[in-house]
């Protein structure tokens, strides 16, 4: 039996994301005042994705609690829609984008932090907030995957959705550069046009790989759990 019910964990995670987003938006940084504001950064977009996802999870839990013991077909239908939305968001957005942000940020940070997180930002963003944006996303999403089985879409549909998101963000970055003359991330200032194209293609491939990883991990966790339950049942029979 879990020490903390999954419903309580989701509420706590949702509240933590609200706190992180509110504290981040309250920071008076020059980058927030330029074209695109916070929305030009994938980190902020990911925070919103995670907050909306866990909001849907909490709403699903509440709906499940309210419909328990009722025979309303309409309520059951609405609950199934919420569950489908929750599972789709987990598969296509929350897991691949969250893992992508964490791994890419810390890889570039450890290689040369000025490429992605210049030291100037230390004057604006405290360490706890930096970890809230770039570290805790990963354990939070793993906890959700471990506590709830999520139904993934077909691999083709899932990959198309993930690639559409990645391409959409790349086009958004290019548009911001077209308007302001400045790339969102300092790394892009140091490489040529062809290298940028190759970089964008590689990143799209990487986030697609994370989608497949999430699908495999989800299946492994729940197939293993199901096998363990069946094995214990056989021993007791």
Residue 159: CB atoms within 10 A of its CB come to 19
**What residue segments make up the domains of the chain, in order of their start?**
6-25+38-236
Per-residue CA distances from 70 to 54, 58, 73, 144, 174 (Å): 25, 20, 9, 27, 51
Give pLDDT, residue 190. Answer: 86
Residue 99: CB atoms within 10 A of its CB come to 23
The answer to whether 221 and 184 have CB atoms below 8 angstroms apart is: no
- pLDDT tens per residue across span 84-113: 999 999 999 999 999 999 999 999 999 988
Segment (H or E) for 104: helix 95-112
Query: Distance (Å, rounded) from C-alpha 116 to C-alpha 132?
Result: 16
Q: 198 versus 2: which is more confidently predicted? A: 198
For 92, residues 6+ apart whose C-beta sits below 8 A from its C-beta are 153, 158, 161, 162, 165, 211
- pLDDT tens per residue across span 20-79: 999 999 888 887 888 988 999 999 999 999 999 999 999 999 988 877 766 677 778 888
- pLDDT tens per residue across span 147-186: 999 999 999 999 999 999 999 999 999 999 999 999 999 8
Rounded to two decimals, what is the model's pTM?
Answer: 0.89
């Amino acid at each position: 039996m879990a020490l903390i019910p999954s419903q309580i964990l989701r509420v706590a995670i949702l509240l933590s994301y609200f706190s992180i987003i509110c504290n981040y938006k309250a920071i008076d940084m020059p980058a927030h005042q330029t074209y695109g504001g916070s929305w030009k950064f994938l980190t902020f977009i990911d925070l919103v994705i995670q907050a909306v996802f866990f909001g849907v999870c909490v709403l699903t839990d509440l709906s499940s609690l309210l419909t328990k013991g009722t025979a309303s077909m309409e309520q059951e239908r609405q609950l199934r829609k919420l569950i489908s939305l929750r599972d789709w968001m987990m598969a296509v957005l929350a897991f691949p984008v969250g893992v992508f942000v964490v791994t890419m940020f810390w890889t570039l940070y450890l290689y040369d932090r000025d490429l992605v997180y210049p030291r100037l930002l230390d004057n604006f963003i405290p360490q706890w907030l930096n970890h809230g944006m770039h570290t805790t996303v990963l354990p939070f999403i793993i906890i959700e995957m471990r506590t709830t089985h999520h139904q993934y879409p077909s691999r083709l549909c899932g990959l198309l959705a993930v690639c559409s998101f990645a391409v959409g963000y790349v086009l958004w970055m290019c548009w911001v550069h077209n308007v302001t003359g400045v790339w969102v991330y300092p790394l892009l200032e140091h490489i040529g046009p062809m290298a940028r194209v190759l970089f964008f293609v590689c990143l799209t491939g990487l986030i697609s790989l994370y989608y497949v990883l999430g699908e495999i991990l989800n299946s492994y966790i729940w197939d293993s759990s199901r096998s363990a339950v069946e094995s214990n049942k056989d021993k007791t029979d």
